[in-house]
Amino acid sequence: MDYAATILSHLPQIRRGTGFKALLAKLEYLPPAQLDVIVEAYEFGSLAHEGQRRYSGELYITHPVAVAGILADLHLDYQSIAAAIMHDVLEDTPMAKEHIEEKFGPEIAAIVDGVSKLDQLSFNSRAEAQVESFRKMMLAMVEDIRVILLKLADRLHNMQTLDALPLDKQRRIARETLEIYAPIANRLGVYSLKTELEDYGFRFRHPYRYRVLDKAVRRAQGNQRQILRKISERLKRALGKAGIDGTVTGRQKHLYSIYRKMLEKHRSLSEIADVFGFRLIMPTADDCYRALGMVHQLYKPMPGRFKDFIAIPRVNGYESLHTTLLGPNGIPIEVQIRTEEMNKVAESGIAAHWQYKATDKEVIPPQVRAREWLASINEMQSAANSEEFMEHVKVDLFPDNVYVFTPKGAILRLPRGATCIDFAYAVHTDVGNRCVAAKIDRRLVPLRTLIKNGQTVEIITAKTAHPDPRWVGFVATAKARYSIRQYLKTLQAGAARDLGRRLLNQSLRDAGSSLRKVSRARMTAALGELGLANTTELFEQLGLGERLAPLVTKVLMQDASVRVDEGSQPTPIVIAGTESLVVSYARCCHPIPGDTVMGYLSAGRGVVVHRNVCGNLSEFRKQPEKWVSVNWEQDIEREFSVEILVEVINRPGVLAELAARIADIESNIEQVSVDERLEDFAELRFLILVRDRVHLAKVIRRIRSMPVVQKISRTCA
């Protein structure tokens, strides 16, 4: 460290005491030329933050230096350390990205920019700004994993100094840390950062619970210290007798992990099995399995508590053998057995043996896992908005618990609660979009069946199949949910364009024209006036109700006074019942084929069809320009929901009799409820499926003929 000491002696005296000396001591793994860059970054950051102080009163530069120190503990490269020292320059000073790029190069500038917040943009709310900032950070991480490592270190130091902030900010930041940043650290396998983030988050999110649990754990640790020392010595002697050159260390579970286990399993602290445990570090993987047999001979293993993460590593690259033993006096003890290499990966994850952009070196497992995850995030960046993007990423942040096999024997890792559909999308998006059935261990099962560890799953596909909107309600992975939504959005856009074309053509015909009669030049000019790129965009907005056809007609006809003759009737749109993505049927009146209906243009939903006798029409009639004349197509082959109210004599079995009558007439019951029940009478409300008014009339006649039925009517708002 002579070189570092020389550099320090030449730095301005005023900047001593910022932690930079301690940082240099940690950077002995870097060559002198790279230390020079870090010194320049320190001088640049100190100058940029001159006069700024933190809430605690310290010089602001102490924060970025401390963040750089956390990354130095992980032995990251010099670009990461330099970027850490300057990571708040773009956000909190007048410096621009170009200044950093000019002095330090595009790579360091890109890392600094990726971790900076989006203060220069305007948002409707603080929440929106935070979500958009998170989106930018995640997408920057796709390009360079060091962005998120820097952000995690930044968050950790902020948590370490959170006492200086008001209580409401402490709670908000702690919650965000537990929900987003700690899971990201876990997903990347950086266990050292993950545990600290969780414990600090727990401390500030639930301060009272933290103090009580901390006190109880310390007391328990004191009581069990002697027992644990004896167990440790016995394990060491057994390893020596077996000729295994391994080390044994005691391990205490961190507080947040204990708290989560107590919460999830509804147990007290005394019932949590592995508050204390041991870690055995072996020379080779073969020695790990030998040591496992040795500890199982010393103490009886608890059934169902053995996990082999060496044969099947976790999604973040974590490898280890886990077993829980029944120790002296019935004390459960958790033992983790791994090699030194596995231990480094377990502590540092993606940061272990840093090989950024390695091409000629062997890539460590966490890097492979991280790149796979980042590739899936990259697929999601076309999400409609930042909230949707954040939802997808949050779903994907939690660790995998289920390992299943493909028919060819390949292993897929899926989160707990994953279904066959999640498996299909994990294989490939096209497989998910075309799946029609699934087999688990060669037996046909429904697609929504939950997958369990060790099962073999086979997906059956069909070329004509497509995703069902209901799948979104039960899939567990972000990729499956995102892929289904994207497919449905594409379908909706196509249906909206078709409806929009029909709406505009109808409006033009009512004005004595048609789309065929509108010249290309006039259409281009109208699109320019409306601020649209092409007719596709215009038709889509019309179909979704975001623009009104009569107003577009006025622009196309170049006459704001265009009106339909008072005596003429608007040409109705014909609906076939198949336009479900852009044509919906009002739940207040449940229109069915044969009813006299009107359509109401609702922004984002398209046309909502109501019966003419619907009570809600009085409110909608205040906006006549949003009404669309609609007619039913002949011979519609689908079923529609309709609601009927039945007053019956209250006696046992009456509901079963009614259900049987409804089924006899080829109608299904979607929902049933009891509106009012008196001693002698009851009012039952049925939501049933019918084809049209004729079918409904048959159902009503069949029910009315029952002696127990006093009155039956169709409901309407």
Rounded Cα distance, 338 and 336, in Å: 7
Of the residues 91, 101, 391, 498, only one is catalytic, namely 91
Can you count the helices (H) and strands (E) in the chain? 28, 20
Note whether 397 and 178 are within 8 A (CB): no
Rg (CA), the chain: 33
Question: What CATH number is given for 368-485 in this structure?
Answer: 3.10.20.30
| Token pair listed for 471 | 């799948």
Residue 365 pLDDT grade (very low, low, confident, very high; cuts 50, 70, 90): low
pLDDT given for residue 372 in this prediction: 62
Q: Which of 36, 40, 58, 92 is catalytic?
A: 92
- pLDDT value of residue 52: 84
User: 640-714 adopts what CATH topology?
Assistant: Alpha-Beta Plaits (3.30.70)
668 Cβ contact partners less than 8 Å away, ≥ 6 residues apart: 639, 662, 688, 689
- Say whether 664 is catalytic: no
Q: 235-253 pLDDT, tens per residue? A: 888 888 888 888 888 776 7
Coil, strand or helix at 461: strand
630, two tokens: 């609609």
More confident residue, 118 or 481: 481
| Range in 126-130, 196-200, 355-359 the model is least confident about | 355-359
Asked if pLDDT for residue 567 goes beyond 50, the answer is no
* pLDDT greater at residue 4 or residue 470: 470
Domains in the chain: boundaries:
2-208, 221-351, 368-485, 489-632, 640-714
Distant-in-sequence, close-in-space partners of 687: CB < 8 Å, separation ≥ 6: 641, 642, 643, 669, 670, 671, 672
How remote is the C-alpha of 373 from its chain's centroid? Answer: 13
Q: What is the pLDDT of residue 212?
A: 87
Give me the mean pLDDT over the 655-681 stretch: 83
Q: Which fold has domain 2-208?
A: Hypothetical protein af1432 (1.10.3210)
Residue 353 pLDDT level (bands cut at 50, 70, 90): very low
Q: What is the pTM of this model?
A: 0.56
Over 90: is that where the pLDDT of 466 sits? no
Calpha distance 218→215 (Å, rounded): 5
Q: Which fold has domain 221-351?
A: Beta Polymerase; domain 2 (3.30.460)
Question: Which of the pair, 693 or 145, is modelled with greater confidence?
Answer: 693
Report the pLDDT value the prediction gives residue 85, as an integer from 0 to 100: 92
Question: Is 91 one of the annotated active-site residues of the chain?
Answer: yes
Kindly report each contact of residues 666-669 with a partner whose C-beta sits within 8 Å and lies 24 or more positions away, as own/partner.
Answer: 666/695, 667/695, 667/699, 668/639
Instruction: Kindly tell me if the per-residue pLDDT of 197 is higher than 90.
Output: yes
Report the candidate in 586, 520, 579 with the shortest Cα–Cα distance to residue 544. Answer: 579
User: Is 186:370 a contact under the CB 8 Å cutoff?
Assistant: no
- Can you tell me whether residue 266 is helix, strand or coil? coil
- Reference 672, options 683, 661, 681; nearest CA is 683
- How high is the pLDDT of residue 507? 78
CA distances from 74 to 116, 192, 442 (A): 21, 9, 47
Nearest to 480 by CA among 350, 380, 412: 380
Q: Determine contact, residues 635/670, Cβ cutoff 8 Å.
A: no
Distance CA 399, CA 437 (A): 27
Alpha helix locations (H) across 144-273?
A: 146-160, 167-176, 182-187, 191-205, 207-241, 255-265
Tell me which residue has tokens 């954040």: 390
pLDDT higher than threshold 50 for residue 565: no
What's the confidence (pLDDT) of residue 572?
63
Tens digit of each residue's pLDDT (9 = 90 or more) over 244-289: 888 888 776 788 888 888 887 777 766 664 556 888 999 888 989 9
Q: What does the alpha-carbon distance between residue 18 and residue 558 come to, in Å, rounded to a whole number?
A: 70
- Three-state SS at 123: coil
- What percent of the chain has a predicted confidence (pLDDT) above 70? 78
Question: Model confidence at 360, in pLDDT bands (50, 70, 90)?
Answer: very low
Assess contact for 394 and 135: CB atoms under 8 A: no
Residues 6+ positions from 447 with CB-CB distance below 8 Å: 419, 420, 421, 424, 435, 437, 438, 471
- Retrieve residue 484's tokens: 């289904």
609-626 average pLDDT score: 77
Token readout for 533 is: 């790129």
* Helix (H) / strand (E) containing 330: none
How sure is the predictor about 587, in pLDDT bands with cuts at 50, 70 and 90? confident
Question: CA-to-CA distance for 154 and 117, rounded, in angstroms?
Answer: 12
Tens digit of pLDDT for each residue in 690-704?
989 999 999 999 999
